[in-house]
Amino acid sequence: MLVGANILRRLLRSQPSATDGGSGLVITAIHHLRSHCSSTTELSTSDVGNSEKKRESKWFTLPPFAKTINASAMGAKIAGKSHSKSSPTAACETTALKWILKCCPGLPRSLVQKLFRLRQVRRESIAMEVSDDGCQVQKTKVKRLGAKDSLNVGDRILLPISVREIPEEKQEHHCTNEESNFIRSLELYKDPAIIVLNKPPGMPVQGGIGIKWSLDELAATWLCYDYSEPPRLVHRLDRDCSGILVMGRTQTSASILHSIFREESLGASKQDFDDEKRVLQKRYWALVIGSPRRPKGTISAPLQKVVVDDGKSDRITVFDNYKIMSSQHAITEYRVIKTSSHGYTWLELSPLTGRKHQLRVHCAEVLGTPIVGDYKYGWQAHRRLQNLLESDLRKNLNKKASKGNMLPFGIDMEGGSISDKRLHLHLHCREMILPNVSKALQNPGSFSDDDLLKLKSLEIVAPLPSYMQKSWDILDS
């Protein structure tokens, strides 16, 4: 315990000497000392209170910085493909820019970067110092902060109070009860880390120009529940594709899953695709026109984007030159589920890499069996098929295609089967096996690297959309 020697010496000199009062003098001195320390603490506290009032009128204060796990390293460890020796449960170095964007997801990134350029961001840190009298005094320091500066635990970031008046970028999507109930009915699985949806065909997963409704925006409005941050996309599905869509409920869980998806795709590109080592497995069902030569196999064909129609649109195509930097290696495993006498085949497709339109291009250009409803990559096959449908299949059905009831957001799940004139894309992400990230996040410090490698998996299955189920029933009859 620290004692103010100067105060004690003054008190002893000011008292008359007495043989009987020695102990009383010491006790009196200690009481004076305690009184001095408490008054000093009260003074510093009042100073802090005054500074807080001034700060509140001038600054917008973010929550104190807390330790975060290294989500990227944890995802790589779970995938069994770690490239660094750093522990995934060790504190992850977080910059001031990242912390602001995490605490204020509604603030535009460009605005935050401008505040840093104008030197209008401050760091408030608290330190304990020892005064001349030997007492510990809590002092608050406020300094300018750079975008790439690392934060210490307990640091608070101060932004200009004017940021409170800036409207958030995200828009509230006002839906009817029927529409909101429909969005919630898409849930296949939910835990503290992820939400898994059965994406309907025809709805884009991400917003953009000319897109009124997208799943990421609707999820941010209706699937937050008691969480302060919106669900985040972990991977994507084509607009006309249906099936399993995984979203992270927090930034940490989304970052871990992003890392797992990235590492699995990277490992496949390096010809490392042993089923037993793959912690992430995706299986799609597709109805194709024609039948592959072999009942199962692995497609390894690089893809490249080409511009068509004088730059108005683009398409993906197989490109044989591996040395071209713009081409992307793509690998797909396939197996025949069953064939039909009508010239269709049901395939199970397992993409080991995640390239744009990978399954559609591999089926159309490599196997020579375009997916039903894929007019972009199989329009010639569909034109040849049209006569067969009119003369054979539809006559055998001996009934008109029923008009399906439209679901919310203009989604038609009933029409589009092989009995209809206009076909929907018959590509569905039916099954996914992925690590149970929620278990790893319950107590990250208790998981060793070996524990992460042995993390139990989730197996999620999404039922076929109505029109694909109808096509299945027709071909099975």
Residues involved in catalysis: 238
Q: Which residues contact 175 (CB under 8 A, 6 or more apart)?
A: 183, 218, 221, 222, 408
* Coil, helix or strand at residue 390: helix
Q: Which residues contact 230 (CB under 8 A, 6 or more apart)?
A: 105, 170, 216, 219, 220, 223, 224
| Residue 381, burial from CB neighbour count under 10 angstroms (0-12, 13-18, 19+) | buried
Residue from 38, 9, 48, 1 nearest 26 by CA: 9
Q: Look up residue 356 and give its amino acid.
A: K
Can you point out the beta strands (E) in 2-113? Answer: 59-61
**Contact by Cβ (8 Å): 350, 281:** yes
**Contact by Cβ (8 Å): 458, 436:** yes
* Coil, helix or strand at residue 303: strand
Bridge partners (DSSP) of residue 293 are none
Report the residue count for the chain.
477
* Beta-sheet pairing, 242-248 with 427-435: parallel
Q: In whole angstroms, how far apart are CA 116 and each of 111, 120, 326, 336?
A: 9, 6, 35, 57
Structure tokens at 420: 């209809």
Structure tokens at 26: 């010491």
**Contact by Cβ (8 Å): 27, 11:** no
| Residue 114, burial from CB neighbour count under 10 angstroms (0-12, 13-18, 19+) | exposed
Structure tokens at 96: 């001031």
Q: In whole angstroms, how far apart are CA 339 and each of 74, 220, 289, 342, 387?
A: 43, 41, 10, 9, 20
Q: What's the CA gap between 228 and 224, in Å, rounded?
A: 7
- Other CB atoms within 10 Å distance of the CB of residue 193: 20
Structure tokens at 94: 């977080």
